[in-house]
Chain A
Amino acid sequence: MSLASASRMTLRNAGCRTFSTSSRRLEHFLGANKETFQRVTSPEHTKDRLVLIDFYADWCAPCKVLSPLLESLTADASLKSGSGRALDLVTVDIDAEPELAAQYRVSSVPTVVAFKDGEKAAQFVGAVPAPAIKKFLKDL
């Protein structure tokens, strides 16, 4: 499980050095287990954020197309949902977490489920292109 923090240090060339840090805007929880899943989809965690759950399988080629795309889109701190929420990404390997996959009735992968305010708000299936993902986010 890795955490990508958006804090940054910048170096200016005009003879003086300045440091700036931005507060953590987004998180990536890759290869999540049930405990992590429950924590990041809880009402507390999702009240100001939109959490995207990327259900994938290692043996599925379309997942290998969508997952990196989701990672790069959600790594962009300026990308927000339609309602202004910051985006978190959780990836779940359905072979490692079959109970979670069954709980969310995942019958094909990739399936992306969006959580807000502790509840599943929407989902889409398939390796859709970036504009389609952005449109999906716009409605949330």
Chain B
Amino acid sequence: MATVKVGDTIPKGTFSYVAYTPELEDGLACGVPTTLSTDEWKGKKVVIFSVPGAFTPTCHANHLPPYLKKYDEFKAKGVDAIAVVAANDPFVMSGWARVSGLKDKILALSDTNAQWSASMGLSVDMSSRGFGTRTNRYALVIDDLVIKYIGVEPAPGVTVSGADAVLAAL
């Protein structure tokens, strides 16, 4: 289970992702993965939520869309960035981001081999379902890299890691 709690500083992590440019949507350009370090979140208020897989049913239908829909509410509460994280590779994350219409509102980050999540006890072995090691379903609010809220789903479904729960905690 989670090895971090409110008040802890998040471990340092590096994600890979395809940065959004409008040309990606038109198919006029191909995304090239670059890296993003948690260091870039120093001094910022960031909401991170994690899904076991891009495009997978519960996430796609119930987890990600509310975050996009309530983007303005998050911004109004002083959130500098929102990121969705999964163990999928950056090309899959980029494709999911485009299909979901995230544009430049929500970063779609690849937690390579679920490493960063694992360092917080937040990875899960889904090999029995053919998924390998994935990130658990959770949400974090960090302010200057310190955890202000952590919600890890205890069962299938979206409750404490959902947009409403996080907004209530901000």
Q: Using CB atoms and an 8 Å cutoff, list the residues of chain A in contact with chain B.
A: 57, 59-63, 94, 101-102, 105-111, 125-128
Contact = CB atoms under 8 A, between A and B. Distances in A.
B23 interface: yes
Contact of B30 (A62, A101, A102, A128): A62
Contacts, number: 48
Contacts of B31: 107-108
Interface of B: 18-19, 21, 23-24, 26-32, 34
A125 B27 CA distance: 11
Contact of B32 (A61, A62, A108): A108
Nearest to B23: A126
B107 to A, nearest CB: 12
Contacts of B27: 62
Contacts of A59: 30
Given A105-B34, A107-B32, 16 more contacts: A57-B30, A60-B29, A60-B30, A62-B29, A94-B32, A101-B32, A106-B32, A108-B18, A108-B21, A108-B23, A108-B30, A109-B30, A109-B32, A126-B23, A126-B26, A127-B28
Given A107-B18, A108-B19, A57 B32 contact: yes
Contacts of A111: 29
Contacts of A127: 28-29
Task: Give the one of B26, B27, B32, B34 with max A CB within 10 A.
Answer: B32
A36 B12 CA distance: 37
9 contacts: A60-B30, A61-B30, A62-B27, A63-B30, A107-B32, A125-B23, A125-B29, A126-B21, A126-B28
